[in-house]
Amino acid sequence: MIPIISVAFVVFFLLIIKIGWIQFVEGAELKELASRQQTLNKIISPTRGGIYDTNGKALAVSASVDTITINPSKFIKTGDAETKALQEKVAHGLSEIFSLDYETVLAQVQSKNSVETIIKKVEQDLVDKLKQWMSDNKITSGINIDEDNKRYYPYGTLAAHVIGFTGTDSQGLYGIEHKWNTTLQGTSGKIVTTANVNGEEISDNAQQYVEVENGSDLYLTIDVDIQTIVEKHLAEGVEKNKAMAGSAIVMKPDTGDILAMATYPSYDLNTPFTLISEKEDENKNDENKENNKGEEEEKQTISNEERSKLLAEQWSDRNFMRTYEPGSTFKLLVAATALEENITQVDVAGDFTCKGSIQVGDRTIKCANSKVHGVQTLRQAVGNSCNSAFIQLGQRIKANTLYKYFRAFGLFEKTGIAITGESGSSFHDLDKVGPVELATISFGQRFEITPLQLITAVSAIANDGKLMQPRIVKEVVNTDTNTQEEIETNTVRQVISEETAKSVREMMKYVVTDGGGTNGAVKGYSIGGKTGTAEPSPSRPEDGYTVSFISIAPAENPELVLLVAIYKPSGVNPYGSTVAAPIVSKMLSEILPYMGIASDNSDSSGATTSTVKTVNVPDVTNKTLTEAKKTLENLGFKVISENTKNSNSVLVTEQVPQKNVSVVEGATVVLYTEENTVRTSVTVPNLIGLTLSEAKQKLSDKNLNVSYSGSGKVVSQNVAEGVSIEQGSIITIKLQ
């Protein structure tokens, strides 16, 4: 009996020790483990901020989607047969709903992992289908639907290299999306609650809520309409000249704002991992299917390494991520240096002599086509783009002074534009600049800068000598608080005097009126410009020529600077004057009227075409009719509404034109309310042969609006005469 009691006592004593050990030694750890097992965390994904152009047009937006995950352990039952049946049912259901491979999904369902991701970025219709399937099959746990966001790019290829794109995890990978990722992505929130033994939420328990912080919206300096004009003519120019690529930038010189920045070929931001060549092959194959009744071309495959290289090239923006030899456009900066240092003046007779070539050390350097320009002033040398004259000028200035001004113009450092991936320049070290290097630098070759660096420097000339930092994001808006933060413009430094800047602008005007840049002229406008034709580097002959044209408009008081570069154009002896200048002219002929920049062309009423300005229609929906009318009328709009009830209480449900649409000032806006949904139609008049003011008045009489391009008289309208359309609609006309 005693031994039994002794044994019992020992067991009891050991049990007490074990309980004590658990409570006092392992207690904290076990408590934490229990808490983790009983705690259910639901992550609330923030909505990524949108990216908008300067007028509020959406360039990148996020839509609510869902991520589907599973907990494989929830599909294990007491018996093997029961477990197998359930796992196969779940795998069949998920694979059918989301069009996935059954065997792959089954492996995930049978996985030993605690969580498996089935599919991301699921649209709402499929989520609804999944929920119905779960309800029909009485599956209440193990399949998780977590809210997420999917990125959409409404304009597809427009400004693709500027905007960039996100990955599957909604992290920015390129462009604005990458540089401003932290601002755009926001901070996740979460709900902390308790769960039962099956991992299901206990609804009666108190919850801890950590508020989500949604991403902020970005408003760019880019103008969609100007970007569209630039991309259209850039693509036409590249294709017409069978070139490898092209790039273009439009900058406001007084602020540094980038109004447009394009690289061609471009890619679709909604499918960024599809190669441009693959997209072209798809289109060709579609044509072949049609023409050959189903016969497809045999596809060529490329290695992953080659594919990655091609994608990197596709995503690369030539304006700021790659460098080039600027050629004769660079002569503007050399001329500005000479004038600022009082080494010469604009019109000194017999200042330079060109015999078609010049001997520098052991080298003979020719002017283009060995053309003999004879005796010239600086103005004439700029107009003729004479290499010999600028070599002589560089010899007078000397390398150390040139480099001093190159530094002042910002060419030895990155511009600091707020996009990821900006490249820097590549110059000879000053102590290695000999006579030949000095000569080639003086006419813009054998060193490399980015197009963005060049247009920023030339914009200083357009801006009375003040260098501005390029600005691409103008405003950040907190979507939770609606607070706005403006990104200030930044004056870097005064590089040259106002007098020097004015003199260079006069020479640029001479280039277009009397020199080699006449193809860059725009009827009715005072334009300044400079051509550029850069030979390929001896070490990279495969790169071919780079031809370019940089323009200021108007020449006397520039409101914009435009640079176009075309890389490796086909044809014999391609030049900036014959390839790039005409492209710039076409762009400016549409951009200048759009911006309301004064033209010398007057219509029959005596008003210039450019005095008709465009405005964006504000959003007045969900405002009272009284408030909406007041808002629109204060902005100069003509308002039409047939509502007869109390305007102070009835709300506006729809407007025509819609918000953010660009129209000519004084446009008509038609408002509809819950009490008035009746549409009124009118017939479109004939506008052919009318001036802009005449067309505007004729449309206004019918409560229609106008959008236009060009100057002169109407040559086409997008809606034909006699067609019946809703009042408030916009008729697009082209003037010539």
Q: What is the pLDDT of residues 143-184, one digit of tens each?
A: 988 776 788 899 999 999 999 999 977 899 999 999 999 999
User: Residue 726: pLDDT above 60?
Assistant: yes
Q: How far apart are CA 107 and CA 598, in angstroms?
A: 69
Instruction: Assess if residue 276 is contained within a domain.
Output: no
Contact yes or no for 67/235 (Cβ under 8 A): no
User: Residue 490: pLDDT above 50?
Assistant: yes
Mean pLDDT on 535-540: 84
Residues 61 and 21 in one domain: no
Residues 102 and 136 in one domain: yes
Instruction: Assess if residue 181 is contained within a domain.
Output: yes
Mean pLDDT on 710-732: 84
Highest averaged pLDDT of the listed ranges 298-307, 369-378, 667-676: 369-378
Q: Which residues contact 111 (CB under 8 A, 6 or more apart)?
A: 72
Q: How far apart are CA 608 and CA 598, in angstroms?
A: 7
Instruction: Assess if residue 112 is contained within a domain.
Output: yes
Mean pLDDT on 102-128: 87
Instruction: Assess if residue 262 is contained within a domain.
Output: no
pLDDT at 633: 84
pLDDT at 78: 85
Q: How far apart are CA 532 and CA 332, in angstroms?
A: 11
Residues 551 and 423 in one domain: yes
Residues comprising the chain, all counted:
736
Question: Kind and range of the H or E element at 306?
Answer: helix 304-315
Look at 59 and 707; give whichever has higher pLDDT. Answer: 59
Q: How far apart are CA 147 and CA 65, in angstroms?
A: 6
Residue with tokens 């030993």: 112
Structure tokens at 58: 């959406």
Residue 242 buriedness (CB in 10 A; 0-12 / 13-18 / 19+): exposed
Pairing of strands 730-735, 714-717: antiparallel
Structure tokens at 100: 């996935």
Question: Could you report the per-residue pLDDT of 560-575, keeping only the tens digit for each?
Answer: 999 999 999 997 778 9
CATH classification at residue 708:
3.30.10.20
Mean pLDDT on 683-699: 87
Residue ending a domain, choose from 160, 187, 219: 219
Residue 675 buriedness (CB in 10 A; 0-12 / 13-18 / 19+): middle
Q: Which residues contact 351 (CB under 8 A, 6 or more apart)?
A: 344, 376, 377, 378, 381, 389
Mean pLDDT on 93-104: 92
Three-state secondary structure of 421-475: CCCCCECCCHHHCCHHHHHHHHCCCCCEECHHHHHHHHHHHHCCCEEECCECEEE
Contact yes or no for 152/271 (Cβ under 8 A): no
Instruction: Assess if residue 681 is contained within a domain.
Output: yes
Buried b (16+ CB within 10 A) or exposed e, 370-379: ebebeebbbb
Contact yes or no for 158/224 (Cβ under 8 A): yes
Sign of torsion over alpha carbons 507, 513, 518, 523:
positive
Residues 27 and 64 in one domain: no
Residues 70 and 27 in one domain: no
Q: How far apart are CA 381 and CA 354, in angstroms?
A: 9
Residues 439 and 586 in one domain: yes
Question: Could you report the per-residue pLDDT of 237-293, keeping only the tens digit for each?
Answer: 999 999 999 999 999 999 999 999 999 999 999 999 999 887 666 655 555 544 554
User: Residue 31: pLDDT above 70?
Assistant: no
SS3 542: helix
Pairing of strands 638-640, 668-673: parallel
Residue 228 buriedness (CB in 10 A; 0-12 / 13-18 / 19+): middle
Residues 524 and 571 in one domain: yes
Question: Could you report the per-residue pLDDT of 369-413, keeping only the tens digit for each?
Answer: 788 999 999 999 999 999 999 999 999 999 999 999 999 999 999
Q: From 682, 718, 679, select the one nearest 699 (Cα to Cα).
A: 682
Q: From 250, 281, 279, select the one nearest 265 (Cα to Cα).
A: 279
- Domain hosting 34: range is 2-41
- Measured N-to-C along each axis, helices 399-408 and 331-340 cross at an angle, to the nearest 10 degrees, of 110
Structure tokens at 574: 């391609």
Average pLDDT for the chain: 86
Look at 26 and 482; give whichever has higher pLDDT. Answer: 482
Mean pLDDT on 319-332: 97
Mean pLDDT on 214-231: 95
Q: How far apart are CA 730 and CA 722, in angstroms?
A: 15
Buried b (16+ CB within 10 A) or exposed e, 63-81: eebbbbbbbbebbeeeeee
Residues 588 and 708 in one domain: no
Instruction: Assess if residue 601 is contained within a domain.
Output: no
Residues 641 and 500 in one domain: no
Contact yes or no for 505/496 (Cβ under 8 A): no
Indicate the pTM of the whole model: 0.72
Structure tokens at 593: 């009227």
Q: From 520, 531, 516, select the one nearest 592 (Cα to Cα).
A: 520
- Percent of the chain past pLDDT 70, that is, above it, reads 86
Amino acid symbol at 79: G
Instruction: Assess if residue 357 is contained within a domain.
Output: yes
Q: Which residues contact 624 (CB under 8 A, 6 or more apart)?
A: 647, 648, 649, 650, 651, 652
Instruction: Assess if residue 156 is contained within a domain.
Output: yes
Q: Which residues contact 576 (CB under 8 A, 6 or more apart)?
A: 327, 328, 329, 531, 532, 533, 547, 548, 549
Residues 391 and 497 in one domain: yes
Residue with tokens 């990155």: 414
Question: Cα Rg for the chain, rounded, in angstroms?
Answer: 34
Could you give phi then psi for residue 238, rounded to 5 degrees?
Answer: -65, -45
Residue ending a domain, choose from 179, 198, 219: 219
For the chain, how many helices (H) and strands (E)? 21, 31
- What's the total number of domains in the chain? 4
Residues 112 and 150 in one domain: yes
SS3 236: helix
What's the longest Cα–Cα distance across the chain? 133
pLDDT at 609: 43
Three-state secondary structure of 473-530: EEEEECCCCCCEEECCCCEEEECCCHHHHHHHHHHHHHHHHCCCCHHHCCCCCCCEEE
Other Cβ atoms within 10 Å of 299 Cβ, number: 8
Residues 50 and 37 in one domain: no
Residue ending a domain, choose from 154, 188, 219: 219
